Structure 1
Amino acid sequence: MNFSVLMSVYYKESPKFLLESIKSIINQTLLPNEIVIVQDGELTTELTEILGKYERNYPNLFKFIKLDQNVGLGPALAIGINECNNHIIARMDSDDICHPERFERQINYLNENPSIDVVGSWIGEFDQDYTEVTNVRKVPLSYQDVLNFAKTRNPLNHMTVVFRKKAVLDAGNYKPFLWNEDYYLWVRMLNQNYKIVNLGEILVYARTGSEMYKRRGGIQYLLKDISLQKEFLRMNFINRTTFYKNIIIRCFVRLLPNSLRGFVYKTLLRK
Protein backbone atom coordinates (compact mmCIF):
# COMPACT_ATOMS: atom_id res chain seq x y z
CA MET A 1 0.00 0.00 0.00
CA ASN A 2 1.25 3.48 -0.84
CA PHE A 3 1.53 5.88 2.07
CA SER A 4 2.98 9.29 2.89
CA VAL A 5 5.19 10.41 5.77
CA LEU A 6 4.47 13.89 7.10
CA MET A 7 7.04 15.99 8.98
CA SER A 8 7.28 19.66 9.93
CA VAL A 9 10.64 21.42 10.34
CA TYR A 10 11.36 24.88 11.76
CA TYR A 11 14.51 26.90 12.34
CA LYS A 12 15.21 25.71 15.90
CA GLU A 13 15.62 22.07 14.86
CA SER A 14 19.00 20.38 15.27
CA PRO A 15 20.58 19.51 11.88
CA LYS A 16 22.11 16.36 13.42
CA PHE A 17 18.79 15.19 14.82
CA LEU A 18 16.97 15.96 11.56
CA LEU A 19 19.51 13.91 9.61
CA GLU A 20 19.11 10.94 11.98
CA SER A 21 15.33 11.19 11.76
CA ILE A 22 15.25 11.17 7.96
CA LYS A 23 17.72 8.27 7.81
CA SER A 24 15.43 6.24 10.06
CA ILE A 25 12.58 6.85 7.59
CA ILE A 26 14.41 5.84 4.43
CA ASN A 27 15.91 2.74 6.07
CA GLN A 28 12.55 1.15 6.85
CA THR A 29 11.61 -2.42 5.91
CA LEU A 30 8.53 -0.88 4.26
CA LEU A 31 9.27 2.39 2.49
CA PRO A 32 6.83 5.25 1.90
CA ASN A 33 6.42 6.39 -1.67
CA GLU A 34 6.17 10.02 -0.52
CA ILE A 35 7.80 12.06 2.26
CA VAL A 36 6.16 15.46 2.71
CA ILE A 37 8.23 17.96 4.69
CA VAL A 38 6.69 21.29 5.62
CA GLN A 39 9.35 23.98 6.07
CA ASP A 40 7.63 26.09 8.70
CA GLY A 41 9.20 29.46 7.93
CA GLU A 42 12.76 30.32 6.99
CA LEU A 43 15.30 27.68 8.05
CA THR A 44 18.97 27.88 8.99
CA THR A 45 21.62 27.30 6.34
CA GLU A 46 22.49 23.91 7.86
CA LEU A 47 18.90 22.66 7.83
CA THR A 48 18.37 23.93 4.28
CA GLU A 49 21.50 22.12 3.10
CA ILE A 50 20.34 18.81 4.58
CA LEU A 51 16.90 19.05 2.98
CA GLY A 52 18.45 20.16 -0.31
CA LYS A 53 20.66 17.07 -0.38
CA TYR A 54 17.67 14.76 -0.05
CA GLU A 55 15.71 16.74 -2.61
CA ARG A 56 18.54 16.24 -5.10
CA ASN A 57 19.20 12.60 -4.28
CA TYR A 58 15.56 11.48 -4.00
CA PRO A 59 13.63 13.78 -6.36
CA ASN A 60 10.68 11.39 -6.67
CA LEU A 61 10.37 10.67 -2.96
CA PHE A 62 10.57 14.01 -1.16
CA LYS A 63 8.02 16.80 -1.48
CA PHE A 64 8.77 20.13 0.20
CA ILE A 65 6.16 22.68 1.21
CA LYS A 66 7.86 25.99 1.98
CA LEU A 67 5.98 28.48 4.15
CA ASP A 68 7.09 32.11 4.17
CA GLN A 69 6.46 32.51 7.89
CA ASN A 70 6.48 30.25 10.93
CA VAL A 71 2.86 29.29 11.62
CA GLY A 72 3.33 26.64 14.33
CA LEU A 73 3.01 22.88 14.34
CA GLY A 74 -0.76 22.52 14.04
CA PRO A 75 -1.29 24.84 11.06
CA ALA A 76 1.87 23.50 9.37
CA LEU A 77 0.62 19.90 9.65
CA ALA A 78 -2.85 20.91 8.45
CA ILE A 79 -1.26 22.33 5.31
CA GLY A 80 0.93 19.25 4.95
CA ILE A 81 -1.96 16.81 5.16
CA ASN A 82 -3.70 18.51 2.26
CA GLU A 83 -0.48 18.18 0.24
CA CYS A 84 -0.15 14.42 0.85
CA ASN A 85 -1.20 12.37 -2.17
CA ASN A 86 -1.93 9.10 -0.34
CA HIS A 87 -4.88 7.96 1.73
CA ILE A 88 -2.61 6.77 4.56
CA ILE A 89 -0.29 9.22 6.36
CA ALA A 90 2.40 8.48 8.95
CA ARG A 91 3.52 11.28 11.25
CA MET A 92 7.13 11.73 12.22
CA ASP A 93 8.97 14.36 14.25
CA SER A 94 12.23 15.84 13.03
CA ASP A 95 14.22 14.88 16.14
CA ASP A 96 13.04 11.31 16.77
CA ILE A 97 14.06 7.93 15.38
CA CYS A 98 11.84 5.21 13.89
CA HIS A 99 12.20 1.54 14.71
CA PRO A 100 13.25 -0.13 11.40
CA GLU A 101 9.97 -2.06 11.17
CA ARG A 102 7.68 0.74 12.31
CA PHE A 103 5.87 1.38 9.04
CA GLU A 104 5.62 -2.28 8.11
CA ARG A 105 3.86 -3.10 11.37
CA GLN A 106 1.51 -0.12 11.42
CA ILE A 107 0.59 -0.14 7.73
CA ASN A 108 -0.08 -3.89 7.87
CA TYR A 109 -2.27 -3.33 10.91
CA LEU A 110 -4.39 -0.74 9.10
CA ASN A 111 -4.66 -3.03 6.07
CA GLU A 112 -5.90 -5.86 8.27
CA ASN A 113 -8.25 -3.66 10.31
CA PRO A 114 -10.22 -1.38 7.95
CA SER A 115 -12.43 -0.10 10.80
CA ILE A 116 -9.44 1.52 12.54
CA ASP A 117 -8.73 5.15 11.65
CA VAL A 118 -5.60 5.89 13.70
CA VAL A 119 -2.92 3.57 15.05
CA GLY A 120 -0.10 4.71 17.33
CA SER A 121 2.45 2.93 19.51
CA TRP A 122 4.57 3.23 22.62
CA ILE A 123 7.75 5.30 22.58
CA GLY A 124 11.14 4.64 24.07
CA GLU A 125 12.58 7.84 25.54
CA PHE A 126 16.32 8.46 25.49
CA ASP A 127 18.81 11.23 26.26
CA GLN A 128 21.76 10.68 23.91
CA ASP A 129 21.76 7.16 22.44
CA TYR A 130 18.45 5.68 21.26
CA THR A 131 19.68 2.18 22.08
CA GLU A 132 19.76 3.22 25.75
CA VAL A 133 16.08 3.76 26.55
CA THR A 134 15.56 5.52 29.88
CA ASN A 135 11.75 5.44 30.03
CA VAL A 136 8.82 4.03 28.08
CA ARG A 137 5.62 5.98 27.57
CA LYS A 138 3.01 3.28 27.38
CA VAL A 139 -0.39 4.32 26.09
CA PRO A 140 -3.62 2.27 26.13
CA LEU A 141 -4.09 -0.26 23.34
CA SER A 142 -7.77 -0.93 22.69
CA TYR A 143 -10.25 1.59 21.35
CA GLN A 144 -12.30 1.60 24.57
CA ASP A 145 -9.22 2.07 26.73
CA VAL A 146 -8.01 4.88 24.46
CA LEU A 147 -11.42 6.56 24.77
CA ASN A 148 -11.39 6.32 28.57
CA PHE A 149 -7.77 7.44 28.90
CA ALA A 150 -8.35 10.46 26.64
CA LYS A 151 -10.68 11.98 29.23
CA THR A 152 -7.70 12.65 31.49
CA ARG A 153 -4.55 12.49 29.34
CA ASN A 154 -3.38 12.41 25.73
CA PRO A 155 -3.92 8.78 24.62
CA LEU A 156 -1.39 8.85 21.78
CA ASN A 157 2.29 9.54 21.28
CA HIS A 158 1.96 12.03 18.45
CA MET A 159 5.15 11.12 16.60
CA THR A 160 4.00 7.49 16.33
CA VAL A 161 0.62 7.86 14.66
CA VAL A 162 -0.41 6.53 11.27
CA PHE A 163 -3.88 7.60 10.16
CA ARG A 164 -6.38 7.62 7.34
CA LYS A 165 -6.32 11.03 5.71
CA LYS A 166 -10.07 11.16 5.11
CA ALA A 167 -10.87 10.51 8.78
CA VAL A 168 -8.62 13.34 9.95
CA LEU A 169 -10.01 15.77 7.36
CA ASP A 170 -13.60 14.81 8.17
CA ALA A 171 -12.90 15.54 11.85
CA GLY A 172 -11.66 19.03 10.95
CA ASN A 173 -7.91 18.43 10.49
CA TYR A 174 -5.34 19.88 12.89
CA LYS A 175 -6.46 23.17 14.39
CA PRO A 176 -4.42 25.82 16.21
CA PHE A 177 -4.23 24.94 19.92
CA LEU A 178 -0.69 25.65 21.09
CA TRP A 179 1.07 22.58 22.59
CA ASN A 180 -2.16 20.56 22.30
CA GLU A 181 -2.92 20.43 18.57
CA ASP A 182 -2.73 16.65 18.45
CA TYR A 183 -4.67 15.97 21.67
CA TYR A 184 -7.44 18.27 20.47
CA LEU A 185 -7.61 16.39 17.17
CA TRP A 186 -7.79 12.94 18.80
CA VAL A 187 -10.59 14.01 21.13
CA ARG A 188 -12.60 15.48 18.26
CA MET A 189 -12.14 12.22 16.35
CA LEU A 190 -13.15 10.11 19.36
CA ASN A 191 -16.16 12.35 19.92
CA GLN A 192 -17.23 11.58 16.35
CA ASN A 193 -16.79 7.82 16.85
CA TYR A 194 -13.61 7.38 14.85
CA LYS A 195 -11.62 4.37 16.04
CA ILE A 196 -8.16 4.93 17.53
CA VAL A 197 -5.82 2.23 18.90
CA ASN A 198 -2.18 1.72 19.83
CA LEU A 199 0.25 -1.15 19.30
CA GLY A 200 1.90 -2.34 22.50
CA GLU A 201 5.48 -2.01 21.35
CA ILE A 202 8.13 0.69 20.98
CA LEU A 203 8.09 1.83 17.35
CA VAL A 204 9.62 5.31 17.82
CA TYR A 205 12.51 6.50 19.97
CA ALA A 206 11.96 10.02 21.33
CA ARG A 207 14.51 12.46 22.73
CA THR A 208 13.92 13.81 26.23
CA GLY A 209 15.86 15.70 28.88
CA SER A 210 15.52 18.68 31.16
CA GLU A 211 14.56 20.99 28.30
CA MET A 212 11.52 18.85 27.47
CA TYR A 213 10.29 18.99 31.06
CA LYS A 214 10.95 22.73 31.19
CA ARG A 215 8.77 23.21 28.09
CA ARG A 216 5.94 21.39 29.86
CA GLY A 217 5.80 23.74 32.81
CA GLY A 218 4.91 27.30 33.68
CA ILE A 219 1.82 29.45 33.87
CA GLN A 220 1.41 29.78 30.09
CA TYR A 221 1.34 26.01 29.64
CA LEU A 222 -1.17 25.74 32.46
CA LEU A 223 -3.45 28.35 30.89
CA LYS A 224 -3.42 26.39 27.62
CA ASP A 225 -4.30 23.24 29.57
CA ILE A 226 -7.25 24.99 31.17
CA SER A 227 -8.47 26.28 27.80
CA LEU A 228 -8.33 22.78 26.36
CA GLN A 229 -10.21 21.27 29.30
CA LYS A 230 -12.88 23.94 28.93
CA GLU A 231 -13.23 22.97 25.27
CA PHE A 232 -13.56 19.28 26.19
CA LEU A 233 -16.27 20.21 28.68
CA ARG A 234 -18.07 22.30 26.07
CA MET A 235 -17.94 19.33 23.68
CA ASN A 236 -19.44 17.09 26.41
CA PHE A 237 -16.42 14.84 26.09
CA ILE A 238 -15.82 15.16 29.84
CA ASN A 239 -18.14 15.96 32.73
CA ARG A 240 -17.67 18.72 35.27
CA THR A 241 -16.16 16.39 37.89
CA THR A 242 -13.49 15.21 35.45
CA PHE A 243 -12.89 18.81 34.39
CA TYR A 244 -12.04 19.94 37.93
CA LYS A 245 -9.96 16.85 38.60
CA ASN A 246 -7.93 17.45 35.43
CA ILE A 247 -7.36 21.11 36.30
CA ILE A 248 -6.14 20.31 39.83
CA ILE A 249 -3.66 17.70 38.59
CA ARG A 250 -2.35 20.00 35.85
CA CYS A 251 -1.91 22.89 38.28
CA PHE A 252 0.26 20.65 40.42
CA VAL A 253 2.43 19.37 37.54
CA ARG A 254 2.82 22.61 35.56
CA LEU A 255 3.82 24.75 38.54
CA LEU A 256 6.41 22.37 39.98
CA PRO A 257 10.10 23.28 39.71
CA ASN A 258 11.64 21.78 36.58
CA SER A 259 13.63 19.11 38.44
CA LEU A 260 10.59 17.91 40.38
CA ARG A 261 8.42 17.91 37.28
CA GLY A 262 11.02 15.73 35.58
CA PHE A 263 10.82 13.32 38.53
CA VAL A 264 7.02 13.15 38.22
CA TYR A 265 7.19 12.41 34.49
CA LYS A 266 9.89 9.76 34.88
CA THR A 267 8.45 7.96 37.90
CA LEU A 268 4.69 8.47 37.82
CA LEU A 269 3.86 9.02 34.15
CA ARG A 270 6.26 6.50 32.58
CA LYS A 271 7.16 2.83 32.91
Structure 2
Amino acid sequence: MKFSVLMSVYKNESVSNFREAMDSMLNQTLLPDEIVLMRDGPVPDELQQVIDEYVAANNLISYYPLDENQGLGIALSIGVKKAKYDYIARMDTDDVAFLNRFELQTKYMEEHPEVSVCGGQIFEFIGTTENVVGKREVPTDHQGICQFMRKRNSFNHMTVMFRREDVLAAGNYQDMYLVEDYYLWCRMLNLGYKFGNLDEVLVYARTNEDMYQRRGGYKYFKSWKMIEQYKRETGITTFKEYASTLIMRFTVQILMPNKVRGAILKKFSRRQGN
Protein backbone atom coordinates (compact mmCIF):
# COMPACT_ATOMS: atom_id res chain seq x y z
CA MET A 1 0.00 0.00 0.00
CA LYS A 2 1.61 3.24 -1.14
CA PHE A 3 0.91 6.49 0.68
CA SER A 4 1.91 10.14 0.87
CA VAL A 5 2.57 12.25 3.96
CA LEU A 6 1.19 15.80 3.92
CA MET A 7 2.94 18.52 5.94
CA SER A 8 2.77 22.32 5.90
CA VAL A 9 5.42 24.64 7.34
CA TYR A 10 5.17 28.40 7.88
CA LYS A 11 7.23 31.31 9.16
CA ASN A 12 6.71 30.76 12.90
CA GLU A 13 8.04 27.20 12.93
CA SER A 14 11.33 26.68 14.75
CA VAL A 15 14.25 24.91 13.12
CA SER A 16 14.60 22.39 15.94
CA ASN A 17 10.91 21.48 15.92
CA PHE A 18 10.95 21.07 12.15
CA ARG A 19 13.98 18.78 12.34
CA GLU A 20 12.35 16.59 14.99
CA ALA A 21 9.17 16.25 12.96
CA MET A 22 10.98 15.45 9.71
CA ASP A 23 13.32 12.96 11.36
CA SER A 24 10.34 11.13 12.87
CA MET A 25 8.97 10.76 9.33
CA LEU A 26 12.24 9.61 7.80
CA ASN A 27 12.94 7.03 10.53
CA GLN A 28 9.60 5.22 10.40
CA THR A 29 9.61 1.42 10.49
CA LEU A 30 7.50 1.74 7.32
CA LEU A 31 8.66 4.66 5.22
CA PRO A 32 6.16 6.73 3.22
CA ASP A 33 6.40 6.68 -0.56
CA GLU A 34 6.23 10.48 -0.68
CA ILE A 35 6.34 13.45 1.68
CA VAL A 36 4.41 16.43 0.31
CA LEU A 37 5.90 19.47 2.05
CA MET A 38 3.98 22.70 1.60
CA ARG A 39 5.67 25.97 2.53
CA ASP A 40 2.86 28.38 3.43
CA GLY A 41 4.47 31.68 2.46
CA PRO A 42 7.99 33.04 3.06
CA VAL A 43 9.98 31.74 6.03
CA PRO A 44 13.11 33.02 7.81
CA ASP A 45 16.42 32.30 6.08
CA GLU A 46 17.57 29.86 8.77
CA LEU A 47 14.44 27.76 8.42
CA GLN A 48 14.60 27.93 4.62
CA GLN A 49 18.16 26.60 4.70
CA VAL A 50 17.05 23.59 6.74
CA ILE A 51 14.08 22.97 4.44
CA ASP A 52 16.43 23.07 1.44
CA GLU A 53 18.79 20.68 3.23
CA TYR A 54 16.07 18.07 3.76
CA VAL A 55 14.68 18.45 0.24
CA ALA A 56 18.13 18.01 -1.32
CA ALA A 57 18.96 14.97 0.80
CA ASN A 58 15.67 13.08 0.44
CA ASN A 59 14.10 12.05 -2.84
CA LEU A 60 10.90 11.24 -0.94
CA ILE A 61 10.15 14.94 -0.42
CA SER A 62 8.00 16.77 -2.97
CA TYR A 63 8.37 20.45 -2.05
CA TYR A 64 5.80 23.11 -2.96
CA PRO A 65 6.57 26.67 -1.75
CA LEU A 66 3.71 29.16 -1.85
CA ASP A 67 4.71 32.77 -2.51
CA GLU A 68 2.25 34.13 0.07
CA ASN A 69 0.79 32.78 3.29
CA GLN A 70 -2.60 31.27 2.48
CA GLY A 71 -3.50 29.67 5.82
CA LEU A 72 -3.37 25.99 6.73
CA GLY A 73 -6.64 25.01 5.07
CA ILE A 74 -5.63 26.34 1.66
CA ALA A 75 -2.08 24.96 1.90
CA LEU A 76 -3.40 21.51 2.77
CA SER A 77 -5.99 21.58 0.00
CA ILE A 78 -3.23 22.24 -2.53
CA GLY A 79 -1.14 19.48 -0.97
CA VAL A 80 -3.96 16.93 -1.25
CA LYS A 81 -4.24 17.69 -4.96
CA LYS A 82 -0.46 17.43 -5.42
CA ALA A 83 -0.16 14.07 -3.61
CA LYS A 84 0.60 11.11 -5.87
CA TYR A 85 -1.04 8.36 -3.84
CA ASP A 86 -4.58 7.55 -2.76
CA TYR A 87 -3.68 7.28 0.92
CA ILE A 88 -2.47 10.45 2.65
CA ALA A 89 -1.18 10.75 6.22
CA ARG A 90 -1.19 14.16 7.93
CA MET A 91 1.67 15.32 10.08
CA ASP A 92 2.44 18.67 11.70
CA THR A 93 5.92 20.17 11.46
CA ASP A 94 6.27 20.66 15.22
CA ASP A 95 5.16 17.21 16.42
CA VAL A 96 6.97 13.88 16.76
CA ALA A 97 5.48 10.65 15.42
CA PHE A 98 5.91 7.27 17.07
CA LEU A 99 8.26 5.38 14.77
CA ASN A 100 5.76 2.57 14.13
CA ARG A 101 2.89 4.95 13.33
CA PHE A 102 2.63 4.20 9.62
CA GLU A 103 3.12 0.49 10.12
CA LEU A 104 0.07 0.46 12.41
CA GLN A 105 -2.09 2.73 10.26
CA THR A 106 -1.46 1.07 6.92
CA LYS A 107 -2.28 -2.31 8.48
CA TYR A 108 -5.55 -0.89 9.82
CA MET A 109 -6.51 0.72 6.51
CA GLU A 110 -5.78 -2.49 4.61
CA GLU A 111 -7.91 -4.48 7.04
CA HIS A 112 -10.76 -1.92 6.98
CA PRO A 113 -11.33 -0.94 3.33
CA GLU A 114 -14.64 0.68 4.29
CA VAL A 115 -12.88 3.32 6.45
CA SER A 116 -12.07 6.68 4.84
CA VAL A 117 -10.32 8.38 7.78
CA CYS A 118 -8.23 6.69 10.48
CA GLY A 119 -6.57 8.52 13.36
CA GLY A 120 -5.20 7.66 16.78
CA GLN A 121 -4.44 8.92 20.27
CA ILE A 122 -1.83 11.54 21.21
CA PHE A 123 0.44 12.39 24.09
CA GLU A 124 0.83 16.14 24.65
CA PHE A 125 4.32 17.25 25.67
CA ILE A 126 6.20 20.41 26.55
CA GLY A 127 9.84 20.81 25.52
CA THR A 128 10.86 17.17 25.05
CA THR A 129 8.90 13.97 24.51
CA GLU A 130 10.02 12.80 27.95
CA ASN A 131 7.88 15.58 29.47
CA VAL A 132 4.38 14.29 28.71
CA VAL A 133 1.76 16.54 30.31
CA GLY A 134 -1.45 15.02 28.98
CA LYS A 135 -3.20 12.58 26.72
CA ARG A 136 -6.05 13.29 24.34
CA GLU A 137 -8.16 10.20 23.77
CA VAL A 138 -10.78 9.93 21.05
CA PRO A 139 -13.35 7.19 20.31
CA THR A 140 -12.22 4.28 18.15
CA ASP A 141 -15.38 2.90 16.53
CA HIS A 142 -17.43 4.59 13.81
CA GLN A 143 -20.56 4.97 15.93
CA GLY A 144 -18.66 6.47 18.85
CA ILE A 145 -16.78 8.83 16.55
CA CYS A 146 -20.02 10.06 14.95
CA GLN A 147 -21.64 10.62 18.35
CA PHE A 148 -18.57 12.47 19.66
CA MET A 149 -18.51 14.58 16.48
CA ARG A 150 -21.81 16.19 17.41
CA LYS A 151 -19.99 18.30 20.01
CA ARG A 152 -16.26 18.01 19.43
CA ASN A 153 -13.61 16.95 16.95
CA SER A 154 -13.32 13.16 16.96
CA PHE A 155 -9.85 13.10 15.42
CA ASN A 156 -6.41 14.27 16.49
CA HIS A 157 -5.58 15.95 13.19
CA MET A 158 -1.84 15.26 13.21
CA THR A 159 -2.56 11.50 13.44
CA VAL A 160 -5.00 10.99 10.58
CA MET A 161 -4.55 8.91 7.45
CA PHE A 162 -7.28 9.24 4.83
CA ARG A 163 -8.29 8.20 1.36
CA ARG A 164 -7.47 11.02 -1.02
CA GLU A 165 -10.41 10.45 -3.37
CA ASP A 166 -12.91 10.56 -0.48
CA VAL A 167 -11.51 13.83 0.88
CA LEU A 168 -11.64 15.37 -2.58
CA ALA A 169 -15.21 14.15 -3.07
CA ALA A 170 -16.18 15.88 0.20
CA GLY A 171 -14.77 19.20 -1.01
CA ASN A 172 -11.19 18.91 0.32
CA TYR A 173 -9.79 21.12 3.08
CA GLN A 174 -11.20 24.64 3.06
CA ASP A 175 -10.22 27.95 4.65
CA MET A 176 -11.64 27.67 8.17
CA TYR A 177 -9.40 29.31 10.78
CA LEU A 178 -7.94 26.68 13.16
CA VAL A 179 -10.76 24.17 12.53
CA GLU A 180 -10.31 23.27 8.85
CA ASP A 181 -9.99 19.60 9.78
CA TYR A 182 -13.17 19.46 11.89
CA TYR A 183 -15.15 21.12 9.11
CA LEU A 184 -13.88 18.48 6.66
CA TRP A 185 -14.82 15.58 8.97
CA CYS A 186 -18.31 17.02 9.49
CA ARG A 187 -18.84 17.20 5.73
CA MET A 188 -17.59 13.63 5.33
CA LEU A 189 -19.87 12.50 8.15
CA ASN A 190 -22.83 14.10 6.40
CA LEU A 191 -21.92 12.24 3.18
CA GLY A 192 -21.84 8.87 4.93
CA TYR A 193 -18.12 8.09 4.96
CA LYS A 194 -16.82 5.64 7.58
CA PHE A 195 -14.36 6.55 10.33
CA GLY A 196 -12.01 4.79 12.72
CA ASN A 197 -9.34 5.54 15.33
CA LEU A 198 -6.62 3.30 16.69
CA ASP A 199 -6.32 2.70 20.43
CA GLU A 200 -2.60 3.30 20.22
CA VAL A 201 -0.84 6.63 20.72
CA LEU A 202 0.60 7.59 17.34
CA VAL A 203 2.05 11.07 17.87
CA TYR A 204 3.67 13.23 20.53
CA ALA A 205 1.87 16.56 20.05
CA ARG A 206 3.81 19.64 21.09
CA THR A 207 2.01 22.09 23.35
CA ASN A 208 2.81 24.92 25.75
CA GLU A 209 1.20 26.53 28.74
CA ASP A 210 -0.56 29.31 26.86
CA MET A 211 -1.83 27.35 23.84
CA TYR A 212 -5.32 26.95 25.26
CA GLN A 213 -5.44 30.58 26.35
CA ARG A 214 -5.10 31.60 22.69
CA ARG A 215 -8.14 29.56 21.62
CA GLY A 216 -10.39 32.56 21.65
CA GLY A 217 -11.26 35.80 19.92
CA TYR A 218 -13.84 36.74 17.32
CA LYS A 219 -12.05 35.15 14.35
CA TYR A 220 -11.88 31.80 16.14
CA PHE A 221 -15.50 32.06 17.29
CA LYS A 222 -16.61 32.92 13.76
CA SER A 223 -15.11 29.67 12.45
CA TRP A 224 -16.87 27.65 15.12
CA LYS A 225 -20.14 29.45 14.47
CA MET A 226 -19.98 28.49 10.79
CA ILE A 227 -19.34 24.85 11.70
CA GLU A 228 -22.18 24.80 14.23
CA GLN A 229 -24.51 26.30 11.61
CA TYR A 230 -23.45 23.64 9.12
CA LYS A 231 -24.08 20.86 11.64
CA ARG A 232 -27.52 22.26 12.43
CA GLU A 233 -28.51 22.75 8.78
CA THR A 234 -27.48 19.21 7.83
CA GLY A 235 -29.09 17.52 10.82
CA ILE A 236 -25.93 16.47 12.62
CA THR A 237 -27.20 18.37 15.66
CA THR A 238 -30.59 19.54 16.87
CA PHE A 239 -31.54 23.19 17.30
CA LYS A 240 -31.27 22.79 21.08
CA GLU A 241 -27.73 21.40 20.75
CA TYR A 242 -26.84 24.17 18.30
CA ALA A 243 -28.10 26.94 20.59
CA SER A 244 -26.50 25.59 23.77
CA THR A 245 -23.16 24.95 22.05
CA LEU A 246 -23.10 28.41 20.50
CA ILE A 247 -23.84 30.07 23.86
CA MET A 248 -21.10 28.02 25.50
CA ARG A 249 -18.56 28.85 22.79
CA PHE A 250 -19.40 32.56 22.85
CA THR A 251 -18.92 32.59 26.61
CA VAL A 252 -15.61 30.72 26.52
CA GLN A 253 -14.11 32.17 23.34
CA ILE A 254 -15.30 35.79 23.55
CA LEU A 255 -16.29 36.75 27.10
CA MET A 256 -13.91 34.69 29.21
CA PRO A 257 -10.46 36.00 30.26
CA ASN A 258 -7.56 34.15 28.65
CA LYS A 259 -6.26 32.50 31.82
CA VAL A 260 -9.69 31.20 32.81
CA ARG A 261 -10.28 29.94 29.27
CA GLY A 262 -6.92 28.18 29.32
CA ALA A 263 -7.69 26.36 32.55
CA ILE A 264 -11.11 25.21 31.35
CA LEU A 265 -9.93 24.02 27.94
CA LYS A 266 -7.06 22.08 29.49
CA LYS A 267 -9.53 20.27 31.73
CA PHE A 268 -11.82 19.25 28.90
CA SER A 269 -9.17 18.57 26.24
CA ARG A 270 -6.68 16.54 28.22
CA ARG A 271 -6.48 13.43 30.28
CA GLN A 272 -3.34 13.02 32.31
CA GLY A 273 -0.74 10.82 30.61
CA ASN A 274 1.54 8.32 32.27
Q: Could you say whether these structures have the same fold, taking a TM-score greater than 0.5 normalized by the shorter chain as the test? A: yes
Secondary structure in 1 matching 2:211: helix
Partner residue in 1 for 2:219: 220
2:248 equivalent in structure 1: 249
SS in 2 for 1:244: helix
3-state SS, counterpart of residue 25 of structure 1: helix
CA offsets per residue over residues 94-122 of structure 1, 9 Å max, x none?
10010111111011100111111110011
Which residue is 1:141 aligned to? 140
Cα offsets for 1:111-164 (capped at 9, x unmatched): 111111110011100111112211111111110111111110111111110001
TM-score (norm 2): 0.95
Letter in 2 for 1:51: I
Contact 1:210 1:259 in 2 (8 A): no
Which secondary structure state, in structure 1, belongs to the residue aligned with residue 32 of structure 2? coil
Q: Is the 8 A contact 1:17 1:94 kept in 2?
A: yes
Deviates more, 1:258-267 or 1:49-58: 258-267
Q: What is the one-letter code of the residue matched to 2:266?
A: K
Distance 1:262 1:201 in 2: 27
Aligned AA for 2:264? Answer: V
Asked whether the 8 Å contact 2:140–2:197 carries over to 1, the reply is yes
Deviation at 1:211, TM superposition (A): 3.3
The 3-state SS of whatever aligns with 2:201 is strand
Provide the residue aligned with 1:16 in structure 2. 16
Alignment match, 2:32: 32
Give the SS at the match of 1:125: strand
How many Å separate the matches in 2 of 1:106 and 1:78?
Answer: 22
**Hey, what does 2:237 align to over in structure 1?**
238
Alpha-carbon offset, residue 165 of structure 1: 0.5
Q: In the TM superposition, what whole-angstrom CA distance separates every residue of 1:60-80 from its partner, at most 9, and x where no partner exists?
A: 211001111111000100000
Equivalent positions of 1:42-121 (< 5 A) are: 42-58=42-58, 60-121=59-120
Q: State how many pairs are aligned.
A: 270
Q: Tell me how far apart the structure 2 counterparts of residues 227 and 57 of structure 1 sit (CA, whole Å).
A: 42
Bigger Cα displacement from structure 2, 230-239 vs 129-138:
230-239
Deviation at 1:47, TM superposition (A): 1.4
User: Partner of 1:199 in structure 2?
Assistant: 198
AA aligned to 1:70 is N
Write the distance in 2 (CA, Å) between the matches of 1:184 and 1:42.
27
Q: Which amino acid aligns with 1:261?
A: R
Q: Is the 8 A contact 1:210 1:258 kept in 2?
A: no
Identity %: 43
Distance 1:228 1:66 in 2: 29
Separation (CA, whole Å) in 1 of partners of 2:218 and 2:176: 16
Does structure 2 retain, via aligned residues, the 8 Å contact 1:135–1:266?
A: no
Equivalents in 2 of 1:29, 1:183: separation in Å? 29
**1:259 aligned partner:** 259
Q: CA deviation at 1:246?
A: 1.1
Quote the residue 1:167 is aligned against.
Answer: 166
Per-residue deviation, 1:55: 1.4
CA contact (8 A) 1:120 1:199 kept: yes
Structure 2, unaligned stretches of length 5 or more? none
C-alpha separation between the residues in 2 aligned to 1:52 and 1:158? 26
Report deviation, 1:266. Answer: 2.6
SS at match of 2:127: coil
Map Cα deviations across residues 37-75 of structure 1 (whole Å, 9 max, x no partner).
Answer: 0111111111111111111111x2110011111110001
SS in 1 for 2:245: helix
Give the gaps of 5 or more residues in structure 1: none
How well do the aligned residues superpose, as a CA RMSD in angstroms? 1.2
The 1-side partners of 2:146 and 2:204 are apart by 24
Return the alpha-carbon distance in structure 2 between the equivalents of residues 20 and 258 of structure 1.
Answer: 30
Distance 1:269 1:57, change over 3 A: closer
